[in-house]
């Protein structure tokens, strides 16, 4: 068993949920605009709604290591939420949810509840966890900026959190409608 992490990133963009959904729902296209995604290969198109969509991703990082994982969409509720199962160098669940705000913007909430099966990461985790957390936050800050640029939308804000293992939220990702 690897070291577990629960990351949450909130991104607010001056754009509606539909164009954001169209940009996020096809992660294989992120390689065109997100600087850290080096490769993305579709392995299965899934159904018409996107469920079953399977993509192999290779992500580099500011700390100069790469992670390769396969993500399979398990839930796709256009244009509000997509959840996927990750296997490979990251194992667990990822999810993004879109919520229109009162300011005519959209709040995107990303959750990653994952474990790292790489032995070197798990051996170093007790000391290096703060670096791994910083690395993830940097990836997501850049993701937010690159997404805003790709959509020609204003980035209103981005905030990251690494959920503490003692926090009640650590072992679960909210279901649609949870607050």
Residue ranges covered by each domain of the chain: 3-162
Number of residues that this document lists for the chain: 179
Distance in angstroms (rounded) separating the CA atoms of residues 135 and 126? 15
C-alpha distances (whole Å) from 165 to each of 7, 64, 75, 145, 168 are 11, 26, 26, 28, 8
3-162, CATH topology level:
Alpha-D-Glucose-1,6-Bisphosphate; Chain A, domain 4 (3.30.530)
Distance in angstroms (rounded) separating the CA atoms of residues 12 and 43? 31
Distance in angstroms (rounded) separating the CA atoms of residues 12 and 3? 29
Tens of pLDDT along 114-167? Answer: 999 999 999 999 999 999 999 999 999 999 999 999 999 999 999 999 999 999
Residue 103 confidence (pLDDT) above 70: yes
This prediction has a pTM of 0.94
- Tokens representing residue 129 in the block: 């966890």
Tens of pLDDT along 67-91? Answer: 999 999 999 999 999 999 999 999 9
Distance in angstroms (rounded) separating the CA atoms of residues 112 and 117? 15
Confidence of residue 93 (pLDDT cuts 50, 70, 90): very high
Distance in angstroms (rounded) separating the CA atoms of residues 101 and 16? 9
């Amino acid at each position: 068993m690897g070291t577990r992490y629960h990351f949450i990133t909130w991104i607010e963009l001056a754009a509606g949920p539909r164009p954001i959904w169209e940009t996020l729902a096809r992660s294989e296209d992120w390689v065109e605009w997100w600087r850290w995604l080096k490769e993305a290969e579709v392995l299965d198109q899934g159904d018409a709604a996107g469920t079953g969509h399977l993509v192999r991703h290779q992500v580099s990082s500011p700390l100069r290591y790469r992670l390769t994982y396969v993500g399979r969409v398990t839930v796709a509720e256009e244009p509000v939420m997509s959840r996927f199962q990750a296997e490979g160098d990251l194992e667990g669940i990822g999810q993004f949810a879109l919520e229109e705000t009162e300011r005519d913007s959209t709040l995107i909430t990303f959750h990653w509840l994952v474990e790292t099966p790489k032995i070197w990461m798990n051996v170093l985790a007790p000391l290096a966890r703060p670096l791994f957390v910083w690395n993830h936050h940097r990836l997501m800050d850049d993701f937010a900026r690159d997404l805003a640029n790709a959509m020609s939308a204003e980035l209103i804000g981005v905030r990251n959190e690494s959920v503490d293992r003692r926090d009640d939220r650590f072992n679960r990702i909210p279901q649609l409608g949870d607050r």
